[in-house]
A and B are shown apart, each in its own frame.
Chain A
């Protein structure tokens, strides 16, 4: 059995009396493809409540897999996952469903239905808080267009409120996806390349908004970033991922150029440029929805 790197009191799985009941963690997690290739290998990380962490690493390092595993979308092949203090895979299905409404996964490409209007796409983030009946009513006539407008305004796309999603540019769609996060009530925010389509100034301001929001809610924020400079500038803690393993897990000050060079290898130059467009790789691992 894998020997955890963390003090026993924190990873005591026999009881729920953890030092911080809102802790999220991965402990010896391994996520494998069907062919045996490991997307994540022996990953052990701890996220305290309210922490804001950036995950960096070259393409294919496993950032997306890590975020989805933390978000209960992928069941690890080995190891334990703890989300907001609970083990998602030891729960009855209904409890897992409720747990999911407390987290928010923002995939790399915004999952917006093309012909849906922005107002409904944004308010979809509120649906877990509504009854089914209200959710359906809102489709006919938006129940809280004000909230959607307010959320969009934070990213300066409020004028697109009643437009169709397929009439937006890539950057606008990404911002609409982030606005959806703002109207939700999630306490664990997992964002995969949330600002990849935005220019540097807009990316900085959007990230700032997200971090302020996470702080105000006391939510844990974990962001997968390709742009290392952005990560260094805005996050106090950086986790470096390479080939599915944790290369380092350090406060910002301790992340040296040498570490970064080792992390990215020959790709270091690429890390400071525009990220290549990657489709969400469809992993053939156990998916439980």
Chain B
């Protein structure tokens, strides 16, 4: 009894073709990468690297230095707060036309703007803004605000599109102008989601704010960059610990706030 054609094992395309293609691709990538890879894994190099990382301990202390670390942490926190807040406002302003309330052209235009703002990473924005606004936290705040406006604009627009239209329509039919109708009907419906998205972005932005300093936008990132450049690794280590603690705190705060929102 022969196996019917439909049950005959087919050539396992997925399980053979995919790994093969992937390996070829990987090989091409590896050959492209320059650098002395064999030298990288030589005894001396590995020993060097280990020594480098070991030199991070113990982290530097000292009251004056710690005060500066805390100040930088506050600065980073402020950058993330103000940047995210500005982005929430800007995002809502973008989202209103982007959800189609003001016609197709406005929708397409604002969506395109949001995509552009999103596509450029915060760091690149910061690097460019530093030229215009000078070194310091302002550049970081603006970079975060601009990038996050694109992100939140898109998320908010989707929220606005997904809510039930009846409350808004009922008010409009009874003679309420679009703006008050938005605040009375649409906004209460969509507010929990807006806040949730904003808090979620804050978690991302505190990490971003910490690293923006690398291009001179202030906060812990700038401190880290400076100390690393001067090979003051123990000070850098303290700053790193501060980053981890700060990120952890913000994550916890954001999660707690979002949990309260659900109730």
Contact = CB atoms under 8 A, between A and B. Distances in A.
B174 interface: yes
A115 B183 contact: no
Interface stretch (A105-113, A239-247, A252-260): A105-113
A136 B180 contact: yes
A147 interface: no
Contact of A100 (B175, B188, B192): B175
Given A124-B185, A132-B180, A98 B167 contact: no
A128 B183 contact: no
B169 interface: yes
Nearest to B179: A132
Contacts of B49: none
B185 A135 contact: no
B173 A124 contact: no
Contacts of A68: 173
Interface in B207-238: none
A178 interface: no
A135 B183 CA distance: 9
A125 interface: yes
Contact of B173 (A73, A109, A120, A132): A73
A184 interface: yes
A159 interface: no
Nearest to A116: B188
Interface string B183-206: 111101101100000000000000
B174 A113 contact: no
A138 to B, nearest CB: 9
A38 interface: no
A120 to B, nearest CB: 7
A251 interface: no
B152 to A, nearest CB: 20
Contact of B184 (A99, A105, A124): A124
A113 B167 contact: yes
A263 B188 CA distance: 42
Given A72-B173, A73-B173, A184-B174, A127 B166 contact: no
A186 B174 contact: yes
Q: How large is the interface on A (under 10, 10 to 19, 20 to 34, 35 or more residues)?
A: 35 or more
A113 B186 CA distance: 8
Nearest to A177: B170
A127 B170 contact: no
A167 interface: no
Contacts of B192: 115
A71 B173 CA distance: 8
B188 A127 contact: no
B189 A127 contact: no
Interface in A99-145: 99-105, 107, 109, 111-116, 120, 124-125, 127-128, 130, 132, 135-136, 139
B66 interface: no
Contact of A132 (B170, B177, B188): B177
A100 B173 contact: yes
Given A111-B169, A289-B169, A128 B184 contact: no
B115 to A, nearest CB: 29
B175 A107 contact: no
Contacts of A98: 175
A124 B175 contact: no
A109 B183 CA distance: 21
B167 A112 contact: yes
A280 interface: yes
Contacts of B176: 101, 124, 127-128
Contacts of A186: 174
A115 B188 contact: yes
A203 to B, nearest CB: 21
A101 B176 CA distance: 7
Given A107-B166, A135-B183, A135-B184, A128 B174 contact: yes
B173 A127 contact: no
Contact of A124 (B169, B171, B177, B179): B171
A100 B180 contact: no
Interface in A31-50: none
Contact of B174 (A105, A109, A135, A136): A105
Interface of A: 68, 71-73, 97-105, 107, 109, 111-116, 120, 124-125, 127-128, 130, 132, 135-136, 139, 184, 186, 280, 289
Interface of B: 166-167, 169-177, 179-181, 183-186, 188-189, 191-192
Given A105-B170, A124-B185, A136-B180, 14 more contacts: A98-B175, A101-B175, A101-B176, A105-B173, A111-B171, A113-B186, A124-B184, A125-B174, A127-B171, A127-B184, A128-B175, A128-B176, A280-B166, A289-B169
Instruction: Rank and list the top 9 A-B pairs by shortest CB-CB distance, nearest first.
Output: A101-B175, A111-B170, A100-B175, A116-B188, A135-B180, A113-B188, A128-B175, A111-B167, A111-B166
